[in-house]
Structure formats: C-alpha cells, structure tokens
Amino acid sequence: MENPPLYHQTIADLAAGLRKGAITSTQLVQNSLDRIKSLDGQLNAFRMVCPERALEQAQAADRQLSAGKDPGMLCGIPYAAKDLFDAKGLPTTAGSSLLDKNIAVEDAHAVRRLTQAGMILLGKTNTVQFAYGGVGINHDHGTPHNPWSPTPHVPGGSSSGSAVAVSAGMVPLALGSDTGGSVRIPASLCGITGLKTTVGRIGRGGVYPLSWSLDSVGPLARSVEDAALGYQFLQGVDSRDENTWGLAVQEVLGELKTGIRGMRLAFAESAFWQDVHPDIDKAVRECSRVFKELGATVDSIDFVEAEQARQLNSKGLIIAAEAYTLNKRWLEAHFEQLDPIVSQRMIKGKAVEAAEYLQNNLAWRKLRSEALTSLKDIDALLVPTTAIPAMPIAEIDADMQTYNDRNLSYLRNTAIGNVLNMCGLSVPCGFTEKGLPIGLMIYAKPFQENVVLRAGYGYQQVTDWHRRTPDLSWVL
C-alpha cells in the first residue's frame, strides 16, 4: 500500500523516516508549517505559529540525530499545544483577548516534558474561552472549522484547535486538556484519537486551570500508538502539581501490542445511550464484533453509577464554583468583554454555597468507590463518545438556549467519566450518513490508561477508520 503524504503519517512512521535518513526534522517541520499556511486561513486551528523558533529547534534535532544522540522516538517530531499551556516567551491567552499580554516565564510541565523528548512546538491552538465548553465555539478568537465539512461545523471543545490541527494534517500530535470531555469530544467530532488521563497522571503545572478537581492533560493524535507515545513521555513528577507526587510512571509501550485476547469488555447501558443519534448507535454497537474476533468477551451491564454521576453533575456545581473562583477577576471587572456563552454560565458559580459544593464533592467520592466495586470484573466499558455528531455552527449558535442544550448533549457521556475519575480513550469507529466522524469511547478504572490504550490499539489494527482523512480540496 502506498504511504500517505508526510502530513498524514503517524509519529511511528515519521520517526522511522528520520532514523533512516529519508527525511530530516527540518524538512518535516517546514512541511507542517507549509500545511498550516495553506489551510489555517480557513480552518483557524492556530492562535499563533512560531516558525523561526520551530525551525531552529528542528535544526538542533537534526544535529542531535546525526551525532547519534537519540533521546527517543519523539525527537524531531512537530506538535502543537492548546493555548492553555505555557511556553516560555509566548502568551497564554486561554481563548480570551484579555490575556493577550500574559507572557509565560517558563514552560508548562507537559511542554517541558515533550521538549526533553525532542519534540518541536510549532505553535498554540485555539480553544474555547477559559476552556469552558464542549461545543468548541469561541466568539472572541474565532471558532475552528471542523475539516470534515465545507459548511462550518463545530469541532468540539474545548481542545478545538488541537483536534482540527491533527485531523487536517498540520501536526501529528497536539496537547489538550479534559475537564468534562475537552480532549475526547473534539477527537470524536474530528475523527482522530484522544486520551483522557486520570487526574495525576500528567502534571498540570503551567496549564491555565478551569477546575482543580477535574482538569487533566492528554494527547490528541492520529492513532492510539501515537497517543501512547505522547502519554509515555508526558508522565513524571510535576513540582507544581501535587497529584503527581509519589505516582510511578506507567510503562505502556511494551504492553500496547500484546493483544486483547481475554479482556473483559462491556457496553455500559442506560445513561450513555439515551437520545443517541442512530448512526452513532449502530457504529458503536458494531465494535462488539471486532473485539470478539480479537478474543475479548463483550457483555452488557447496567452501570447505574453512570446515571448517578450524571444527576450529581446536572448543574455543574463543582466546575462552575471552581471556574468562577479561578476567573473571578475577569468576571467581576470585564464581564461585558467576555464571550457570553462562557460568562453567563460561569458567573453562576458565584451563587454556589459552600455546603452545597462540599456535599456534592463528598457524594462524588462515595460514588467513585461504588463504581470501582461495580467494575471489579470488567476491564473496560464501551460507549459512544458523544450522543450526537458535529452540527453546523450556525444552527447551534442561533441562541443561548440552543447552545446550552447542544453543549449538554456533547458533554454528557464524557463528563460522567470525569466525575468518576476514570480514564478514557476516544477512537474513530465510523461515519454518519452525512460523512461526519463517529467516536467510540473506551473507559477504564482510574490509572488504567494501559488498559484503554491496549484495547484501542487492538481495535485499530483491524479497522481503518483512523486512517481516513478529510477531503480538504474545498480549502486548497
């Protein structure tokens, strides 16, 4: 089979090409920069691009590889970071023009880890303002355009630009954050792979926060193997995030390709399947056949904790209260300058009483324990990543009520995992009749990222959904 163009190759393929001398990092980075230049005027994935800085780092990577000093497979590979991640000398705007002069004095932990691995930062990607939304719309910096439709469709949020950048072949990997689904929703709607890690797995130091209880960091990539490579290097103790202290690095690459024979999988019924689009229902259910052929058992269970988690999070009390606390200065002094789809929801956090917040927090902890008991005989759950596919931006953005309804629809299945502190992986599993991507979400118990990655890798070895790319002739 003919190799895909550079801009749609996986990190594993690019790394092999670098080491064979078939391509240099400088050529690879220039190829990505050219791709961004030709596409981003329409797609709006990037908030800022740093070509001189990136090319200088690429030349350094070429010298390092030529000298036989190879730090690992990520060396010389370009990537992008959601504009919540600090990169020294660059502004971190969190999707708001109010922060245009918020220049980072040091790298975020995740950026530093990838730099140490030899990766090259091309720029920062657009996000929902303050990362508060699952649709992907930003009325301040502009909304990234989902590459799967010439008519503007939502990319999913809040890691919207990161997903669009990977899907459109601008970068092979991008950093995202996930508080209620912000890695998995855009991964699903843009037809790529996204890993939501357990809080504590990857340090959050230097990442603009939304909720200290729920924020997590994860990679968006073209394949599970690429996501696993990013995850492996992103781990490690972060002095600015106590959740990482004392947690050993999880080795996943050796286990990744061992197969899934004997794995115990289950469709989690009830909450996850209510009002699911029929094309999504069919595509996700069809995954059962694939997993069974690979030697896994696939059952169905009534995972009651999912519905309980949804009810406990129905008002978004904890996120709203923490988001208001973290962004109080902007909400109090610049309310009218903020994106209304964010400010009008975030300001509600001001009214959350301490007793209500603490009671909700305690209820979450109890429910997490009960979920572990219910899943003691299950390795992973299978559910739709989102209940609905990408929709036209104009339709969702017609009025605040429509936006709020669709936002809840996109967040429902993913936010359940955040409440229960599970790890989750979204992988492409099909397309709707209109040609829009569908995501399968694989959930596992906290700190079992190795399980979801192994299951997802096995699935992608016998399916080709993740290899399909959007037709961007309407842009080019």
328 given a catalytic annotation: no
Token pair listed for 124: 């920062």
Check residue 278 and give its pLDDT.
Answer: 98
The tokens for 397 are: 């953005």
Q: Phi, psi at residue 48, to the nearest 5°?
A: -155, 150
Written as one letter, the residue type at 191 is G
CA-based nearest residue to 133, from 378, 304, 283, 344: 344
The 3-state DSSP class for residue 354 equals: helix
Cβ 141 vs Cβ 95: under 8 Å: yes
Q: Name the amino acid, one letter, at 437.
A: P
Q: Which residues of 437-446 are buried (b: 16+ CB within 10 A; e: fewer)?
A: bbbbbbbbbb
469 phi, psi to nearest 5 deg: -130, 150
Instruction: Please tell me the pTM assigned to this model.
Output: 0.98
What's the one-letter identity of residue 436?
L
Domain assignment present for 130: yes
Instruction: Tally the C-alpha atoms within 13 A of residue 456's C-alpha that lie toward its C-beta.
Output: 37
Predicted local distance difference test score (pLDDT) of residue 465: 98
How many C-beta atoms surround the C-beta of residue 286 within 10 A? 13
Q: CA-CA distances (angstroms) from residue 34 to 50, 51, 68, 153, 424?
A: 12, 10, 28, 24, 33
Q: Is residue 14 part of a domain?
A: yes
Residue 474 lies in a domain: no
Asked if residue 18 lies in contact with residue 6, where contact means CB atoms within 8 angstroms, the answer is no
Is residue 473 in some structural domain?
no
SS3 for 181?
coil
Catalytic residue among 167, 182, 188, 216: 182
* Residue of 15, 450, 424, 440 whose CA lies nearest to 192: 440
**How far is Cα 360 from Cα 59, in angstroms, rounded to an integer?**
52
Start-end of H helices in 313-464:
317-326, 328-333, 340-346, 354-374, 393-396, 400-419, 449-461
**Do the Cβ atoms of 173 and 117 come closer than 8 Å?**
no
Alpha-helical (H) ranges within 44-150 are 51-66, 109-116
Domain containing 260 equals 8-467
User: Is 472 within a domain?
Assistant: no
Q: What are phi and psi of 137, to 5 degrees?
A: -85, 140
Please give the helix or strand (H or E) that residue 310 lies within, else none.
helix 304-312
Q: Rounded to an integer, what is the distance from CA 444 to the centroid of its chain?
A: 16
CA distance 3 to 21: 16
Whether residue 1 lies inside any domain: the answer is no
Q: How many domains does the chain have?
A: 1
Please state, in angstroms and rounded to a whole number, the distance separating the CA atoms of residues 139 and 132: 13
CA distance 473 to 476: 5
158 is annotated as an active-site residue: yes
Q: What is the CATH number of the domain that holds 459?
A: 3.90.1300.10
Using an 8 Å Cβ cutoff, are 174 and 163 in contact? yes
Strand order in the sheet with 437-444: 46-49, 120-125, 78-82, 173-178, 216-221, 193-196, 423-431, 437-444, 380-384, 264-268, 297-301
User: The tokens of 145 are what?
Assistant: 């355009």
Q: How many CA atoms lie within 13 A of 103 on its CB side?
A: 4
In-domain check, residue 159: yes
How many Å apart are CA 21 and CA 102, to the nearest integer? Answer: 40
Query: Residue 81 carries which DSSP code?
Result: E
Q: Across the strands, what pairs with 301?
A: 268
| Cα–Cα distance for residue pair 228/251, rounded to 1 Å | 10
Residue 87 · residue 48 · CB < 8 Å: no
Evaluate the CA torsion angle 423, 428, 430, 436 in order and state its sign.
positive
- Reading the block at residue 4, the tokens are 């895909």
Tokens of 384: 């739709």
Q: What is the full per-residue pLDDT of the chain (476 aa) written as tens digits?
A: 568 899 999 999 999 999 999 999 999 999 999 999 999 999 999 999 999 999 999 999 999 999 988 889 999 999 999 999 999 999 999 999 999 999 999 999 999 999 999 999 999 999 999 999 999 999 999 999 999 999 999 999 999 999 999 999 999 999 999 999 999 999 999 999 999 999 999 999 999 999 999 999 999 999 999 999 999 999 999 999 999 999 999 999 999 999 999 999 999 998 999 999 999 999 999 999 999 999 999 999 999 999 999 999 988 899 999 999 999 999 999 999 999 999 999 999 999 999 999 999 999 999 999 999 999 999 999 999 999 999 999 999 999 999 999 999 999 999 999 999 999 999 999 999 999 999 999 999 999 999 999 999 999 999 999 999 999 999 98
- In DSSP terms, 264 is beta-bridged to 297
What local confidence, expressed as pLDDT, does residue 2 receive? Answer: 67
DSSP 26: H
Residue 463 belongs to some domain of the structure: yes
CB contact at 8 A, 42 and 145: yes
Per annotation, catalytic residue among 32, 96, 158, 177: 158
